[in-house]
């Protein structure tokens, strides 16, 4: 009887650890080979953790996953729920997807894309327009014929060829060539001239 109680306690601990690490879907039926845990352990499915912007509901969306290094559209993926583990340094809500086994090693970077019936309004910001300063991404936007303003850029919506921004408009004129030079010019007054005494 004590052995049975010990086994039940151990099982509850395992289920709780699964719930805390991977969520309710993985904690359900932990010993069943047909459950998510059994399928993942048998490499019958891949599991992908990804982040959506705050306020975006990922449930009414068809998801696709592709390796980052390829230009393919990827394979269809199934949303299984929220991930209790957040991705460090990435703002937003973390969710989990399952997809057929891809043969990619665990921890490989993938591109997650959404096919939604709701159109997103915004622009693609090319990588050459993005500068980094103070741990953040910025772009220079023309505000007058000879005047540019540095504006913050969210990096939580990467595309295969840049970043998606819903804060900029198609009419926004970005500096694409020479953005890093503008950043240097903006802060050159802070550089001390060692030759002047």
CATH number of 123-189: 2.40.420
For 115, the token pair is 């096919």
Measured between alpha carbons, how far is 53 from 192 in angstroms, rounded to an integer?
A: 41
Measured between alpha carbons, how far is 119 from 140 in angstroms, rounded to an integer?
A: 26
Q: What is the pLDDT of residues 13-45, one digit of tens each?
A: 887 887 777 778 777 766 666 778 778 878 889
Q: DSSP for 113-133? A: EEE-SSPP--EEEPGGG-EEE
**pLDDT average, residue stretch 175-188:** 89
Distant-in-sequence, close-in-space partners of 87: CB < 8 Å, separation ≥ 6:
49, 51, 94
Instruction: Determine the pLDDT at residue 192.
Output: 66
Q: Which regions of 5-155 does DSSP assign to beta strands (E)?
A: 46-52, 62-67, 75-82, 93-99, 110-115, 123-125, 131-133, 136-144, 147-153
Pick the residue with more confidence: 64 or 117? 64
Indicate the pLDDT class of residue 195, thresholds 50, 70 and 90. low
The pTM is what? 0.56
Measured between alpha carbons, how far is 168 from 105 in angstroms, rounded to an integer?
A: 37
Q: Where do the domains of the chain lie? A: 43-118, 123-189
Return the minimum-mean-pLDDT range out of 22-31, 68-77, 121-130. 22-31
DSSP conformational letter for 59: G
180 burial (CB, 10 Å; 0-12 / 13-18 / 19+) is: middle
Q: What is the pLDDT of residues 150-165, one digit of tens each?
A: 999 988 777 778 888 9
């Amino acid at each position: 009887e004590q052995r049975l109680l010990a086994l039940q306690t151990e099982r509850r601990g395992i289920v709780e650890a699964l719930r805390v690490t991977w969520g309710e879907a993985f904690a359900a039926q932990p010993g069943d080979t047909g459950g998510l845990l059994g399928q993942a352990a048998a490499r019958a499915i891949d599991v992908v953790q990804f982040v959506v912007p705050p306020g975006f509901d990922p449930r009414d969306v068809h998801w696709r996953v592709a390796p980052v290094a390829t230009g393919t559209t990827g394979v269809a993926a199934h949303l299984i729920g929220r991930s209790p583990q957040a991705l460090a340094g990435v703002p937003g809500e973390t969710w989990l997807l399952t997809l057929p086994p891809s043969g990619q090693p665990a921890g490989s970077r993938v591109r997650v894309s959404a096919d939604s019936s709701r159109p997103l309004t915004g622009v693609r910001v090319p990588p050459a327009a993005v500068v980094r300063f103070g741990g953040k991404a910025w772009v220079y936007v023309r505000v007058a014929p000879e005047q540019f303003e540095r504006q913050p850029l969210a990096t939580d919506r990467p595309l295969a060829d840049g970043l998606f921004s819903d804060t900029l408009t198609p009419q926004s004129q970005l500096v694409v060539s020479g953005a890093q030079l503008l950043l240097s010019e903006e802060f050159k007054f802070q550089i001390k001239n060692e030759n002047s005494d």
